[in-house]
């Protein structure tokens, strides 16, 4: 009940004080487990994605550093988020997230592991999202969010920020060859990140802007 009330409050606020736009929502499975892999620019990324028109059950992996922020802590707990320690290989969080996915929820995760608050360009991705997909069997839907990086500043000056979430086609990660585990994890992590980059304007592509795989994706889009 608390989760529903909090989500309704967030949706009401987003509808009244922002201009949120969702593109490619037909790529989001309407039911069943799915990992929503996103870039991370701002604390407004979470409410933007929570208010997507397809999956109202979306929750996410959230860094344990927010445990020290009383209001954010309360909101994050209210939406059923899963805490993850970004400073270590937090396999406990991956296990909890996998169990949640097996119950059929939608789970948001930022493969970058932190906000790109300085350049707003994509940072190099980490393999956790691929490991989670392999463990849970859930497909990954890449999403590029932008406009959130200036959202707070605009809200403080009584302007509605225009924030966009663009969803790409779902990707299933195949079983990885144990003999080439490191190489395969890197390759599939790059695949996920390039698919996120393909949903973003050029200035947001950061680490992956010249990646050959991104160029292939853009050429066929």
Domain ranges of the chain: 2-220
What tokens were used for 167? 């969803």
Higher pLDDT, 79 or 111: 111
Residue that wins the pLDDT comparison between 170 and 1: 170
Multiple choice CATH, 2-220, 1.10.150, 3.40.1130, 3.20.20, 3.40.50 = 3.40.1130
Average pLDDT, the chain: 91
Instruction: Reply yes or no on whether the pLDDT at 136 is more than 90.
Output: yes
Report the predicted TM-score, pTM, of the whole model to 2 decimal places: 0.92
Rounded mean pLDDT, 152-176 = 95
Q: Does the pLDDT value for residue 87 go beyond 70? A: no
Which pLDDT value is given to residue 117?
A: 85
The percent of residues above 70 in pLDDT, for the chain, comes to: 95
DSSP string covering the chain, please? -HHHHHHHHHHHHHHHH-EEEEE-GGGS-SSS-EEEEE----TTHHHHHHT-SS-TT-EEEEEGGGGG-HHHHHHHHHTT-EEE-TTS--HHHHHHHHHHHHTT-EEEE-TTSS--TTT-SPPPP-THHHHHHHHH---EEEEEEESGGGHHHHHHTT---EEEEEE---BPPPPPPGGGHHHHHHHHHHHHHHHHHTTS-GGG-GGGTT-HHHHHHHHH-
Give the per-residue pLDDT at 200.
Answer: 98
Q: Supply the pLDDT for residue 88.
A: 64
- The predicted pLDDT at position 221 comes to 81
Which of 5 and 153 is assigned the larger pLDDT?
153
Q: Quick one: average pLDDT of 126-142? A: 95
Mean pLDDT of 193-219: 98
Residue 188: per-residue pLDDT: 98
> Does the pLDDT value for residue 207 go beyond 90?
yes
């Amino acid at each position: 009940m608390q989760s529903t009330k909090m989500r309704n409050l967030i949706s009401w606020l987003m509808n009244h004080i922002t201009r949120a736009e969702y593109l490619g929502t037909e790529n989001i499975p309407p039911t069943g487990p799915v990992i929503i892999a996103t870039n991370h620019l701002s604390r407004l990324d979470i409410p933007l994605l929570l208010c997507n028109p397809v999956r109202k059950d979306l929750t996410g992996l959230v860094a344990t550093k927010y445990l020290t922020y009383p209001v954010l802590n309360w909101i994050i707990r209210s939406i059923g988020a899963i805490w993850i320690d970004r400073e270590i290989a937090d396999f406990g969080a991956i296990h909890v997230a996998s169990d949640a996915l097996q119950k059929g929820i939608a789970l948001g995760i930022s493969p970058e592991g932190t906000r790109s608050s300085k350049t707003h360009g994509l940072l190099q991705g980490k393999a956790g999202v691929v490991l989670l997909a392999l463990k849970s069997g859930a497909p990954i839907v890449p999403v590029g969010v932008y406009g959130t990086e200036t959202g707070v500043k605009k809200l403080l000056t009584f302007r509605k920020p225009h924030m966009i979430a663009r969803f790409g086609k779902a990707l299933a990660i195949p079983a990885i060859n144990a003999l080439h585990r490191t190489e395969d994890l890197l390759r599939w992590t790059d695949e996920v990140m390039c698919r996120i980059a393909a949903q973003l304007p050029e200035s947001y592509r950061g680490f992956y802007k010249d990646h050959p795989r991104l160029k292939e994706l853009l050429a066929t889009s």
